Amino acid sequence: MKARDGEDTVTDESITNAGTGLLLRAEGLRRELAGKVIVREACLALRAGEVVAITGPSGAGKSSVLRLLNRLDEPTAGRVWLEDVDASAIPVRELRRRVGMVMQQANLFPGTVAENVSFGPSLRGVAMAGAELEELLATVGLAGYAGRDVAGLSGGEAQRVSLARTLANHPQVLLLDEPTSALDDAAKLVVEEALRAAMTRVQGGCVIVTHDAAQAARLAQRTLVMRDGVLKDGAMEACDVR
Amino acid sequence: MSAEWLARWVHTQVAVGLAQAVVVSALALAVAWLGHSRKLELRSETAVALARGLGQMLAIGLVLVWLLHGAAWWSVLALTAMCASAAAMAQRRTKSVPGCYWLCLQAIGTGSAVVIVMMTATRVIAFRPLAMVPLGSMIIANSMNTCSQVLERFASDMKLNAGRVEAALALGASPAQAALPYAKNATSAALIPSLNSLRSLGIVWIPGFAAGMLLTGSDPVYTAIYQFMVIAMIYAASGVTALVAARGYEHAAFAQERLVVR
């Protein structure tokens, strides 16, 4: 089997787990750093077309769980499955393209909006067509912004560019890590609109971490609560929390 | 120690040199004291650096007396020891980098060795201690500065831009792609002094080495060409050092495609 960008993907049946029908599944994820437990145990199930929100108090480990899903951090224990394939068997760059992430800070690269949005495809030697770029920017409410320097953007605009930049990779799963926490109320609502459009566009699934319960209710179909490093998902039958 | 011996010693070149060194050190210390009035605390660091510098140069002078009359391969040993010391000094300002000493030794050693071996093979540097040691030490010292600057700048830029680096990784970039802007900045910034030396050669400054050659009766035009070659060698060695140091830091900063230096 070949992935869309030509990289070899997994065919070994020992690392596949067919039959769950889930887009993304995390089982018994644990993360320890320098002897400190960051994530005690996290279980999560995401179906195609579903938006799941993770809420909970600060320091509960919400963002840390997201970073384990696209292997920005490596779990100490537990496994993640993407379309029933063990994520650790998927080449890490391919996994990160398929499980896209928008961070709390926009972290835009110096340059224009177009350069930022086309960054992901350019890594694979793909030049993004102007029409596709414009359409993507229109999706996040930034039509006509392609040539602008990112240094002059507001916080909300920067976060929407960050969203468009992630969408340019055509991810199957979209991870959103507190995408509006650094914004004022007006900008938050505009970004939420962009997020809704992005979720529709992804046609896969979306996991959003937010400390705002109202935002979770507005954007997600299911809300999970994380406390003291423990995340349970009632949609999963086997989630044995110690 | 007789009074007659002392009177003779006072008039030797070494004694005159030591007296001149004291005058110059006093001037440098005065500058450090002047800085103190502007809240720039450099006094103790300057005093220690001056004392160390003089002590080290006296020691090296004594070693040179022995070395310059020895076999050519002794100079290889001396240059190797200089590389090891240079690595120890270069790593002091960048201790946060994992495995920093070996990284510095690799970068300085590679940059210096490539240029010294090539220049010796093509007879630009004569294979004898009188030429190998002073020229080699100039190359090593410049490589050391370049190595320090690359690592310091690269490490601080990566820490400052950790979010951007992780954003690039999250978009599917390799560690090399994610770190590229900061590697480029660090490398080009570290090479600016060597490049400026090359650019301004003969216009803004004439290397001290030229004076020695002219005093020993070398042809002035050949002396000028030789100075150019020396500065070009320094630039080449600094360039190789910068590239190896940047590559080494990149390896240290990532593990399994994850950023580990923050």
B4-22 pLDDT tens trace: 887 777 778 888 888 889 9
Residue A114, min C-alpha distance to chain B (Å): 15
Distance of CA B182 to the CA centre of its chain: 22
Instruction: Kindly give the interhelix angle for B162-170 and B175-200, rounded to the nearest 10 degrees.
Output: 130
In the block, tokens 């450099």 appear at: B42
Phi, psi values for residue A100, rounded to 5°? -75, 155
For residue B76 the two structure tokens come to 């290889």
**Distance from C-alpha of A154 to C-alpha of B192, rounded to nearest angstrom:** 35
Instruction: Report chain A's mean pLDDT, rounded to a whole number.
Output: 86
Distance of CA B79 to the CA centre of its chain: 13
Amino acid at A119: F
**Distance from C-alpha of B63 to C-alpha of B67, rounded to nearest angstrom:** 6
The mean pLDDT of A108-114, rounded to a whole number, is 96
Q: Which of B20, B49, B67 is the last residue before a domain boundary? A: B67
B20-66 pLDDT tens trace: 899 999 999 998 888 887 877 888 888 999 999 999 888 888 887 87
Closest by alpha carbon to A5, among A88, A137, A96?
A96
A144-174 pLDDT tens trace: 999 999 999 999 999 999 999 999 999 999 9
B43 and B154 share one domain: no
B109 and B196 share one domain: yes
Q: Which of B47, B67, B87 is the last residue before a domain boundary? A: B67
Q: Which of B67, B82, B105 is the last residue before a domain boundary? A: B67
Amino acid at B220: P
Q: Which pLDDT band holds residue A3 (cuts at 50, 70, 90)? A: very low
Strand ranges (E), chain B: 254-255, 258-259
Over 60: is that where the pLDDT of A16 sits? no
pLDDT for position A111: 95
Hey, are the CB atoms on A109 and B177 less than 8 Å from each other? no
pLDDT for position A5: 40
A52-82 pLDDT tens trace: 999 998 888 999 999 999 999 999 999 999 9
Are the CB atoms for B236 and B115 separated by under 8 Å? yes
pLDDT for position A90: 94
Hey, are the CB atoms on A107 and B256 less than 8 Å from each other? no
pLDDT for position A20: 66
Beta strands B254-255 and A85-86, pairing class? unpaired
B87 and B39 share one domain: no
Hey, are the CB atoms on A169 and B171 less than 8 Å from each other? yes
How many helices (H) and strands (E) in chain B? 10, 2
For residue B129 the two structure tokens come to 């201690």
Q: Which residues of B touch A31 (CB under 8 A)?
A: none
Neighbours of B161 (CB within 10 A): 20
Are the CB atoms for A191 and A139 separated by under 8 Å? no
The dihedral of CA B222, B224, B227, B231: what is its sign?
negative
B155 and B121 share one domain: yes
Closest by alpha carbon to A160, among A95, A108, A203, A219?
A108
Over 60: is that where the pLDDT of A4 sits? no
Hey, are the CB atoms on A103 and B170 less than 8 Å from each other? yes
B129-176 pLDDT tens trace: 888 888 899 999 999 999 999 999 999 999 999 999 999 999 999 999
Phi-psi region of A116 (alpha: psi -120 to 50; beta: other; left: phi over 0): alpha
The dihedral of CA A95, A97, A99, A102: what is its sign?
positive
Look up the ipTM and state it: 0.87
DSSP label at A88?
Answer: G
CA angle B92, B93, B98 (to 5 degrees): 75
Hey, are the CB atoms on A120 and B174 less than 8 Å from each other? no
B188 and B152 share one domain: yes
Query: Helix or strand or coil: residue B104?
Result: helix
Closest by alpha carbon to B82, among B117, B43, B134?
B134
CA angle A158, A159, A164 (to 5 degrees): 95
Inter-chain Cβ pairs, chain A and chain B, closer than 8 A: 58
Number of domains in chain B: 2
Which range, A219-233, B64-78, B196-210, is most confident? Answer: A219-233
B18 and B105 share one domain: no
B148 and B215 share one domain: yes
Residue A119 touches chain B, beta carbons under 8 Å = yes
pTM of the model as a whole: 0.80
B135 and B94 share one domain: yes
Domain that holds residue B12: 1-67
B208 and B179 share one domain: yes
B124 and B247 share one domain: yes
Checking B208-212 for CB contacts under 8 A at 24+ apart, the result is B209/B134, B209/B138
Are the CB atoms for A105 and A182 separated by under 8 Å? yes
In chain A, the domains with their CATH numbers are 13-231 (3.40.50.300)
DSSP conformation letters of B179-240: HHHHHHHHHHHHHHHHHHHHHHBTTTB--HHHHHHHHTT--HHHHHHHHHHHHHHHHHHHHH
Residue A204 touches chain B, beta carbons under 8 Å = no
Query: Helix or strand or coil: residue A223?
Result: strand
Mutate to test the interface with A, among B161, B171, B180 (most CBs of A within 10 A): B171
B5 and B37 share one domain: yes
Neighbours of B118 (CB within 10 A): 14
B61 and B77 share one domain: no
Percentage of residues in chain B having pLDDT higher than 90? 47
